[in-house]
C-alpha cells in the first residue's frame, strides 16, 4: 500500500506507529503510544491519545476523541489501553475511553462497528463485532455488548450491564439491567418487549425455530417464580434450539446487574 499521508497541520508524536496507506487529515493529534493499522483514515480534528490501537480500514470523523483516560475517580493513571477493531466507522464527536488500572485495564471494540455522532464508549467496556450505536447512545463503564447489537439514539446503558448478541435497544431508553440475546427493550426504564424479530430473521431464524423460541420465552418469563430457575428447568426441553440455549446460558450466568423482564409479565413481540 501507499505511504501514509499526513497533513502538515497535524501532530504525530514520536513513537506512534502509522501503517501503510494511513491518511491523517488537518488538525489531528496522534499520541506517542498510538498504533494505526493499514488504511486508517482520520478525516480532520481527531484526537487519539494514550495507548490506543485502531485496526485496519477504520475511518474516524472530526472531533472524535479516542483513548483518553477513564472518567473514573478511582483510576490512578496506571496502565490502561483502548483497542478498536478493523473496518469501523466512528462519526463526529464520538468518545471512547481507555480502561481503568483497577479494572480490565482495557476497553475493547470489535470489527465492523458503526458509531454514530456523539456516541460514547466508557472505560473497561467490551463491545462485540458489527455493533451499531446510534447518535448520542452512551455506554457507562464495564459494559459488555454482544455481536450485532443495535442501540438506539439517546439511549443510556448503566455501568456493568450485559447486552446479549443481536439484541435491540429502542431510542431514548434507559438500560439499567441485563438484556437477553435477541431481546428488544424500550421505555424510560427498559422493559423487555419480546424478541428482536428483524435481528432473528437476519440471523437466518426459521419460522419453526422462532415458534420454539417463543415457547421458551413463555416458560421462562410467564410461569411465575424465579426467572433463573425457570430458565434452568427449561434447558433440557430446548437443547436443540441454539438461540434458546444461548438465552438460558445468559440468564443463568452471573451478572452484576438485575435482569430486564417484561412489563407486567407480558411477552408480545415487536415485529418491526
**Orientation of helix 242-252 relative to helix 227-234, angle to 10°:** 140
Q: State yes or no: is 141 an active-site residue.
A: yes
Indicate the SS3 state at residue 48. Answer: strand
Catalogue the long-range contacts made by 200-207 (C-beta closer than 8 Å, 24 or more residues apart): 200/166, 200/243, 202/148, 202/166, 203/148, 203/166, 203/243, 205/243
CA distance 237 to 63: 51
Torsion angle (degrees, nearest 10) of CA 212, 174, 127, 252: -40
Give residue for cell 415457547.
215
DSSP per position, 218-236: HHHHHSSS-HHHHHHHHTG
* Closest to 260 measured CA to CA, from 150, 182, 202, 153: 182
Catalytic residue among 75, 120, 123, 158: 123
DSSP 62: T
CA distance 268 to 272: 12
CA distance 4 to 162: 38
What region does 95 belong to: left with phi over 0, alpha with psi -120 to 50, or beta? Answer: beta
Catalytic residue among 25, 68, 99, 124: 124
* Closest to 70 measured CA to CA, from 78, 61, 59: 78
Catalytic residue among 93, 110, 141, 146: 141
Q: Which residues are the active-site residues? A: 123-124, 141
Amino acid at each position: 500500500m501507499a505511504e501514509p499521508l499526513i497533513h502538515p497541520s497535524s501532530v504525530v508524536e514520536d513513537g506512534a506507529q502509522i501503517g501503510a496507506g494511513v491518511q491523517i487529515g488537518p488538525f489531528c493529534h496522534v499520541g506517542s503510544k498510538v498504533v494505526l493499522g493499514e488504511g486508517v483514515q482520520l478525516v480532520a480534528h481527531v484526537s487519539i491519545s494514550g495507548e490506543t490501537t485502531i485496526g485496519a480500514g477504520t475511518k474516524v470523523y472530526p472531533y472524535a476523541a479516542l483513548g483518553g483516560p477513564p472518567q473514573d475517580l478511582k483510576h490512578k493513571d496506571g496502565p490502561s489501553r483502548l483497542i478498536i477493531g478493523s473496518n469501523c466507522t466512528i462519526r463526529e464527536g464520538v468518545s471512547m475511553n481507555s480502561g481503568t488500572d483497577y479494572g480490565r485495564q482495557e476497553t475493547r471494540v470489535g470489527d465492523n462497528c458503526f458509531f454514530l455522532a456523539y456516541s460514547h464508549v466508557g472505560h473497561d467496556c467490551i463491545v462485540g463485532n458489527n455493533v451499531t450505536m446510534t447518535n448520542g447512545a452512551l455506554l457507562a463503564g464495564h459494559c459488555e455488548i454482544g455481536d450485532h447489537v443495535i442501540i438506539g439514539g439517546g439511549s443510556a446503558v448503566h455501568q456493568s450491564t450485559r447486552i446479549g448478541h443481536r439484541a435491540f435497544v429502542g431510542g431514548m431508553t434507559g438500560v439499567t439491567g441485563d438484556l437477553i440475546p435477541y431481546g428488544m427493550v424500550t421505555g424510560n426504564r427498559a422493559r423487555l418487549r419480546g424478541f428482536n424479530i428483524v435481528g432473528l430473521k437476519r440471523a437466518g431464524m426459521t419460522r419453526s425455530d422462532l415458534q420454539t423460541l417463543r415457547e421458551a420465552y413463555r416458560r421462562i418469563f410467564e410461569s411465575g417464580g424465579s426467572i433463573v430457575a425457570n430458565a434452568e428447568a427449561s434447558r433440557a426441553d430446548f437443547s436443540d434450539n441454539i438461540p434458546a440455549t444461548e438465552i438460558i446460558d445468559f440468564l443463568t450466568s452471573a451478572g452484576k446487574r438485575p435482569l430486564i423482564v417484561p412489563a407486567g409479565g407480558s411477552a408480545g413481540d415487536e415485529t418491526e
